[in-house]
């Protein structure tokens, strides 16, 4: 029996790993950061098929909780159990297995205060429509997608990580199974040379070790890893066409391996409705398997091409939506919240790029526009890029990662700054069903976005009634493309306009620059 104690995310974070101690401290008081990873390594049987034959879990007790955490086989007779302590304090554990060498092992550790940069996993915020880290810090999602980046060479991955370190993205959508040319293509043991010659009952630990290395490196950059478990683009290999028992084993393996990393989110599938071998009932079942297999209760979604999945189903934590037109209007975006009653991320809204396909040739302006409309509608948006010399998206940022060639990223960083300066837990649509096109926080903070329109004036009318609505506001003119914030002199002192609205009778309007991509921000001040 060998116990390693790792706090992987904290270790790989550039700063603040002060509470981390070297691995392999087999005895003595052991500590791990709250929300870090405590890993047990056990030696066990390597004969037969350990992926199928051997059961393994550990029950962790601490902070008044008892949590059963499944383990996994990592090859060469090594078994691991990974647990991320949700609470501070002492934790004890005891292993369970059908293999004598793995059963009845015990141990203990202490979960200590998280180091700098460790804010815990992202959860749905209490209001139900936004996200926050476990420590309460709002998580303002600015996503991107590099489908098979994790499966590229270490050099290419390093390039992607370097790009990400200088980019605004805090969530990465990434496939477990490859969809474009990749270095790593075999999640399962090969049984021959044909694309379908693999054994769904034998994982290739090296493949998953590579993938979890990428997860950790994203974590070190403060980026959530939105792990996409299935996709429809590998008919050749058929990884998304497995039988139910194989699917269940796969989900259990992935959750046991990856689920303890606090930056992991689960996306059940990309374009689930394009996977012809699975029906909605299958996805429902697999979600239930996922929930049961994941003691860390990571965020869960599913992404569609044509038919929206029913995001109200209880295992869905937030809606992941593909729809390019929905975020050309904040009120279209808002409707997705009204249907899901959960946070909404437009994870695919067509890509900034230059390929011939209409899904991959947005201008940077149009990409940025979609983020702003999504924000005003109380939702979140995802980016990606399809610039490619060969007009083929495979080698683009979308397919393999690498470097960015577009011009939206700096504007999304600017947008993220605006979001961070905004209300907690996030921007709410304001009386959306009355067509105001305002987001913010009632009687405190408002955003208005004009997209491609070029107004020269705007009537400063806010919805609201009663004493709480009679606030004073400072107003900023935000050029979302040129990334400038220009305060307008003085304040707007709101008075009752009618039964529904307030307005400053002395300053009923504001002059605007008559340019596209302008937004307004009104922030309450003490009058």
Contact residues: its own copies, CB under 8 A: 307-308, 310, 312, 323-326, 328-329, 331-332, 335-336, 338-339, 341, 356-358, 432-435, 499-500
* CB closer to its own copies out of 89 and 459: 459
Task: Give the residue with the Cβ less far from its own copies, 312 or 511.
Answer: 312
Q: Cβ of residue 324: shortest distance to its own copies, in angstroms? A: 6
Which one, 324 or 410, has the nearer CB to its own copies?
324
Cα–Cα distances in angstroms (integers) from residue 391 to residues 83, 232, 233, 396, 476, in the given order: 44, 21, 18, 9, 40
Question: What CA dihedral angle connects 183, 303, 295 and 114, to 10 degrees?
Answer: 70
What phi and psi, each to the nearest 5 degrees, are found at residue 411? -70, -30
Q: Is the C-alpha dihedral spanning 482, 485, 489, 494 positive or negative?
A: positive
Phi, psi of 116 (to 5 degrees): -60, 140
- The span from the CA of 521 to the CA of 415, in Å, is 12
End-to-end distance of the chain based on CA atoms, in angstroms?
68
Residues in the chain: 527
- CB neighbour class for 479 (10 Å; exposed up to 12, middle 13-18, buried from 19): middle
Extended strands (E) in 163-237 = 171-175, 188-190, 198-203, 224-230
How many beta carbons lie within 10 A of that of residue 45, not counting itself? 17
Distance of CA 465 to the CA centre of its chain: 37
- Smallest CA-to-CA distance from 451 within 369, 514, 378, 521 is with 369
CA atoms of 402 and 395, how far apart (whole Å): 9
Tokens found for residue 409: 């990223």
Q: Which is nearer to its own copies, 303 or 336 (CB)?
A: 336
Coil/strand/helix, residue 165: helix
Residue with structure tokens 């989900």? Answer: 251
- Whether the bond into 491 is cis, omega within 30 of 0: no
Q: Which helix (H) or strand (E) holds 344?
A: strand 344-348
* Shortest Cβ 322–its own copies spacing (Å): 8
Q: Where are the beta strands (DSSP E) in 397-483?
A: 428-430, 438-441, 445-449, 457-459, 461-463, 472-479
């Amino acid at each position: 029996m060998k116990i390693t104690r790792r706090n992987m995310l904290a270790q790989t974070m550039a700063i603040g790993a002060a509470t981390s101690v070297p691995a392999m401290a087999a005895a003595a008081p052991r500590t791990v950061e709250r929300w870090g990873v405590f890993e047990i390594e056990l030696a066990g049987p390597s004969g037969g098929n350990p992926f199928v034959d051997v059961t393994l879990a550990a029950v962790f007790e601490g902070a008044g909780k008892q949590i059963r955490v499944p383990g996994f086989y990592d090859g060469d007779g090594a078994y691991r159990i990974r647990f991320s302590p949700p609470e501070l304090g002492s934790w004890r554990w005891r292993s369970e297995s059908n293999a004598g060498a793995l059963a009845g092992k015990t141990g203990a550790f202490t979960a200590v205060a998280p180091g700098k940069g460790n804010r815990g996993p992202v959860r749905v915020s209490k209001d139900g429509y936004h996200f926050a880290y476990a420590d309460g810090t709002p998580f303002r999602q600015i996503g991107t997608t590099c489908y098979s980046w994790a499966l590229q060479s270490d050099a290419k991955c390093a390039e992607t990580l370097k790009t990400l370190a200088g980019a605004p993205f805090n969530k990465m959508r990434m496939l477990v199974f490859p969809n474009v040319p990749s270095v790593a293509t075999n999640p399962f043991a090969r049984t021959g040379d044909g694309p379908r010659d693999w054994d769904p009952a034998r994982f290739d630990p090296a493949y998953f070790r590579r993938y979890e290395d990428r997860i950790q490196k994203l974590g070190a950059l403060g980026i959530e890893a939105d792990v996409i478990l299935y996709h429809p683009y590998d008919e050749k290999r058929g990884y998304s066409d497995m039988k139910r028992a194989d699917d269940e084993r796969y989900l259990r393996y992935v959750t046991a391996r990856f689920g303890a990393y606090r930056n992991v989110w689960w996306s059940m599938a990309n374009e689930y409705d394009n996977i012809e071998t699975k029906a909605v009932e299958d996805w429902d079942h697999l979600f239930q398997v996922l929930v049961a297999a994941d003691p860390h209760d990571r965020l869960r979604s599913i992404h569609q091409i044509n038919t929206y999945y029913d995001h109200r189903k209880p295992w869905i934590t937030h809606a992941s939506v593909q729809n390019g037109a929905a975020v050309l209007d904040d009120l279209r975006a808002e409707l997705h919240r009204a249907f899901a009653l959960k946070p909404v991320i437009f994870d695919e809204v067509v890509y900034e790029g230059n390929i011939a396909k209409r899904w991959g040739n947005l201008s940077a302006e149009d990409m940025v526009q979609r983020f702003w409309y999504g924000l005003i509608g109380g939702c979140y948006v995802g980016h990606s890029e399809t610039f490619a010399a060969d007009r083929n998206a495979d080698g683009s940022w979308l397919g393999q990662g690498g470097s960015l060639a577009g011009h939206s990223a700096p504007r999304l960083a600017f947008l993220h700054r605006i979001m961070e300066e905004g209300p907690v837990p996030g921007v709410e649509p304001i009386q959306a069903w009355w067509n105001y096109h305002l987001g913010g926080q009632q009687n405190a903070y408002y955003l208005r976005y004009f997209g491609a329109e070029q107004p020269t004036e705007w009537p400063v009318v806010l919805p609201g009634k009663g004493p709480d609505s009679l606030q004073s506001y400072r107003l900023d003119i935000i050029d979302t493309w040129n990334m400038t914030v220009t305060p307008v002199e003085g304040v707007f002192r709101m008075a009752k306009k009618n039964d529904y609205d307030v307005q400053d009778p002395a300053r009923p309007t504001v002059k605007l620059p008559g340019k596209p991509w302008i937004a307004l921000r009104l922030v309450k001040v003490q009058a």
